[in-house]
Every structure is written in C-alpha cells, then in structure tokens.
Amino acid sequence: RSAFDRIKRLDGQLCAILATDEDQSLRLARKADARLRAGERSPVLGLPIVIKDNLNWTGLPVSCGSRIQEGYRAPYNATVVERLIAAGAVPLAKANMDEFAMGSSGEYSAFKPTRNPWDTSLVPGGSSSGSVVAVSAGYAPFSLGSDTGGSVRLPAGFCGVTALRPTYGALSRYGLTAMASSLDQVGPIATTAADIALALQVMAGRDPMDSTSTDLPRQDGLVPLRPRNLKGLRIGLPTEYFADGLESGSRSLLEAALQVFADQGAEIRNVSLPHTRYAIDTYYLLCTSEVSSNLSRFDGVRYGHRAGAPSLPDMIAETRDQGLGPEVKRRILLGTFCLSKGYYDAFYQKAMKARTLIARDFERAFESVDILATPVSPGPAFPFGAKTNDPLAMYLADVFTVTAPLAGLPCLSMPAGLCGGLPVGIQLIGPAFSDVMLLETAHAFQ
Ligand code: GLN
C-alpha cells in the first residue's frame, strides 16, 4: 500500500507507470505475507516489483508503449514474471517505455514521456524508462526492463541505479514481446548489484518455452552475493570508448571510479576493440531488419487495435498506419529495405559480417584482461526534445551500449558518481556467462 501511495504521489509528474491492478497486487502481497509467517524464505518473498510493459503479466495490458496494442491483455505470464511470482514477489505495475523498445530517451512512448527524477526537465533514458524511474524514485526496489542495445543500461546510467544485461540466453524471452530477437534480453534493475543477484537467482535457468535459453553457470553463487577480491583483476579500458565523443566531466568521474578499483589491487590496462567504429551502423541495420520481420504480426487481426476498412489489405494497412508511431514506422521501412532482394547482400549480410568482427574483437581482448570498463553514454541525461528531431543523434546515444549485445556478452551499468548534480554510470562488460563474476565485481565497487 505504501508503494501505491508513493506512485500516486509522484507519478503524475514522473509518468513511469502505465497500468496497475491494485486488487491483484494486494492479493499477492497477502499471500506472500502468509508464506513468510509460515516460515518460508526466498530471496524475493514479498518484494514489490515493477514490470516493463513489453513483458506479459496475466490479465494486464501489455501495450509495449504503443497504441496498436490498445485493448489487448496478456493471456499468460512471461517466464521471468512467472518465476518471480512463484517465489513470492509482488508485481505492482506495468512500466512506461519507448514504443516497442525503440528509443534511447523515454520520449517515444505513444502515451506520455517519462521524466528523470533527478531533474524533471531531463529525459530518464530509454527504452526501459519507466522501469528505471520506478527504482530510482523508490516505487519498488526491483524492476524488469529489456535490453536490445542498451535499454536498461543507458537509463540506469541517467538515473543513478544498477542494471544488468545478462549473457544472451541466461534469461528466458518467453512472454517478452520481440523487437530484435537475436539481441533482446530481459534486464533486471535495482539500486545495487547485490539486489539484482537476489532476483536473478530466482529467474535464471533454462526454460523449455525459449529454445535459446540456457542455464547460468555459478547460479548458486548469487545468494548471498560475495564481493569479488579485486587483487590482480585485470581491467581493460578499450581506447576507442575513451576517445573524443566522451564529455570531460564524465571522463573525470570514470577515472575516479577506476582509481577505486586500482586502490583495491586491480590492474588497469588499455586494450583495443578496433571494429567499434562499425557498431552503430551494424546494430541499426540488424535491429531494423529484425524489427521489420517481428512487427509484421501486428496486423489488426491478432492483437489490440483494428481499423475499420473495406478490405483485408486496407484494414491491415490502416491499422498499422493508425497504431504505430513514427520511429517504429521508420525502422520497419529501413529494415524492409535492408532485407529486400538486391540490397540484402549489400546491407544485411555485410552487417552480419561486421557483427562477427565485433565479437572477435571482444574474444581477443578477453585473452589479456578479465573484464572491460567503459562509459555508459557520452554524457549525462539530456533535455527533452534535444534529439527527437534528429534520429541519427538519438542513435548515437547508444554508441557504448550496442557492442556487447552484438557479441551476446553480459554487461552492467552502475553509478560512478555525480557530475554537475547528475548521475553518471560506468559499464562493465565480461566474457559470455561471466554474469555472476560481473555482479561480484560491481558488488566490490559498491
Ligand atoms: N536505443 C536502442 C534502440 O533504440 C536500444 C533499445 C533497446 O535496447 N531496446 O534500438
């Protein structure tokens, strides 16, 4: 109830929440209370959580931040939601987001832009804008987002919280509305790595409903999470990430954060990831291609909104025209173009080759270091409207977050400190399936 009071008090301004079902939440809370009284213990028993509105929670809308889903309600729980509820977590609300998870600022929600609790004239970052703000503003200690190219890490950096993008496959995508399937991952968000570990413990593990899901090594090391001994840990700084694009205030903060690691005995080295310069182009070619295919299911027949029209093709065209926002349309058109005959080799296939080269850069780097440390974004949160008229400028906000997903690697964003009163994040990237080690390293820093 106190969580709902807080949401009612603050969300008129912050706009992080799209839907609630207080009766269901209170019912689940009472159930958790009874289990607790009966002596049961689980890492998340009674924990209030907030869920991004592209993840299914039975009976509630799953709008994906889009008008095309109007009236549609989730018929089943996403596996991650199901596992959290089974372990006693209490979902409170569905969180606002950029439409279909396309965006970096939270401004592309079809309903209302989410605001940054640190300064409401600034964006919170996206696309998991509502999920991150829910934790940052204290609605709930834990939330779920999704991360295709940075959607939990970028807003976590802008709002001063911690967010993990697990190794591709470590969390089931069953019940997560697909944007770009080869890149999408569910991303847990909390104030600290130790809190993320509690929920990851409950959610991780193979799911027969998602054939790309797999078990997470060392899952039993998540609770309690132990801080990693940093003595001798080799931390690599990719020189390409500390180049001109990085604002000087953020750079000094990152240097101070790295000094904290060094003071505990970590060894800091420079490494090179030479194909980083192709990352944005590669990501946006592959992402839009997959988007054009995945979003063809929103046709007015199966879900939500349906336009009235004299024929089936007209109905589909009308529904999509009315229901989808400009950024989604842009990506469907770009992706359709990339995949079309004659352009497939020039764009899609070339991007797949670049993806392999980017992944090889990481493999090579991890021959000489244990972990990589980078900025999360070129600078802190920006004002509303600063990038909405220039899609390319918006895409460039993702320059440090799209590389690890292209290689399927786990990465996290955590607060490094404040610059001009605003949070700045630091990103850690690890080898595949080093998720627990990554959290232990963050825990030692926090
Ligand atoms: N900002 C990136 C994009 O718009 C990443 C989004 C995401 O991770 N879902 O594609």
In tens digits, the chain (446 residues) has pLDDT values of 999 999 999 999 999 999 999 999 999 999 999 999 999 999 999 999 999 999 999 999 999 999 999 999 999 999 999 999 999 999 999 999 999 999 999 999 999 999 999 999 999 999 999 999 999 999 999 999 999 999 999 999 999 999 999 999 999 999 999 999 999 999 999 999 999 999 999 999 999 999 999 999 999 999 999 999 999 999 999 999 998 889 999 999 999 999 999 999 999 999 999 999 999 999 999 999 999 999 999 999 999 999 999 999 999 999 999 999 999 999 999 999 999 999 999 999 999 999 999 999 999 999 999 999 999 999 999 999 999 999 988 998 899 999 999 999 999 999 999 999 999 999 999 999 999 999 999 999 99
Report the atom number in ligand 1 closest to the C-alpha of 103. Answer: 4
- Give 237's strand partners: 270
CA of 103 to the centre of ligand 1 (A): 5
* The two structure tokens encoding residue 77: 């729980």
Number of domains in the chain: 1
The answer to whether 209 and 79 have CB atoms below 8 angstroms apart is yes
User: Rounded to whole angstroms, how far apart are CA atoms 192 and 240?
Assistant: 28
Residue count of the chain: 446
Q: What is the 3-state secondary structure (H, E, C) of the chain?
A: CHHHHHHHHHHHHHCCEEEECHHHHHHHHHHHHHHHHCCCCCCCCCCEEEEECCECCCCCECCCCCHHHCCCECCCCCHHHHHHHHCCCEEEEEECCCHHHCCCCCCCCCCCCCCCCCCCCECCCCCCHHHHHHHHCCCCCEEEEEECCCCCHHHHHHHCCEEEECCCCCCCCCCECCCCCCCCEEEEEECCHHHHHHHHHHHCCCCCCCCCCCCCCCHHHCCCCCCCCCCCCEEEEEHHHHCCCCCHHHHHHHHHHHHHHHHCCCEEEEECCHHHHHHHHHHHHHHHHHHHHHHHHCCCCCCCCCCCCCCHHHHHHHHHHHHCCHHHHHHHHHHHHHHCCCCCHHHHHHHHHHHHHHHHHHHHHCCCCCEEEEECCCCCCCECCCCCCCHHHHHHCCCCCCHHHHCCCCEEEEEEEEECCEEEEEEEECCCCCHHHHHHHHHHHC
Residue 437 lies in a domain: no
Residue 121 exposed, middle or buried by CB count within 10 Å (0-12, 13-18, 19+): exposed
| Predicted pLDDT of residue 441 | 98
Residue 36 lies in a domain: yes
Give the residue, out of 148, 152, 282, 427, with the most ligand 1 atoms within 8 A of its beta carbon, to mutate for a pocket test: 148
Q: For 341-355, b where at least 16 C-beta lie within 10 A, e where not — what string?
A: eeeeeebbebbeebb
Report the atom number in ligand 1 closest to the C-alpha of 147. Answer: 8
CB atoms within 10 A of CB 221: 17
Closest CA to 196 of 218, 165, 155: 165
User: Rounded to whole angstroms, how far apart are CA atoms 391 and 148?
Assistant: 17
| Predicted pLDDT of residue 244 | 83
CA distances from 299 to 89, 119, 173, 274 (A): 34, 39, 22, 41
The answer to whether 142 and 161 have CB atoms below 8 angstroms apart is no
The answer to whether 47 and 90 have CB atoms below 8 angstroms apart is yes
Dihedral sign, CA of 386, 392, 394, 399? negative
Report the atom number in ligand 1 closest to the C-alpha of 102. Answer: 4
User: Rounded to whole angstroms, how far apart are CA atoms 408 and 189?
Assistant: 19
| Predicted pLDDT of residue 245 | 86
Residue 210 lies in a domain: yes
Q: Is the peptide bond before 127 cis (omega within 30 degrees of 0)?
A: yes
Residue 49 lies in a domain: yes
Range of the domain at 87: 2-221
Residue 196 lies in a domain: yes
Give the residue, out of 285, 287, 388, with the most ligand 1 atoms within 8 A of its beta carbon, to mutate for a pocket test: 287
Closest CA to 95 of 16, 195, 185: 16
As for ligand 1, residues whose beta carbon falls within 6 Å of it are 101-104, 127, 146-151, 179, 287, 398
The domain that holds 39 is classified in CATH as: 3.90.1300.10
Residue 62 lies in a domain: yes
The pTM of this model reads 0.98
Residue 439 lies in a domain: no
**Ligand 1: which residue has its CA nearest to atom 10?**
102
Residue 387 lies in a domain: no
The answer to whether 424 and 418 have CB atoms below 8 angstroms apart is yes
| Predicted pLDDT of residue 156 | 98
The answer to whether 81 and 24 have CB atoms below 8 angstroms apart is no
User: Rounded to whole angstroms, how far apart are CA atoms 235 and 445?
Assistant: 13
**Ligand 1: which residue has its CA nearest to atom 5?**
149
Which positions are annotated as active-site residues?
Answer: 52, 127, 151
Give the residue, out of 147, 151, 179, with the most ligand 1 atoms within 8 A of its beta carbon, to mutate for a pocket test: 151
| Predicted pLDDT of residue 102 | 98
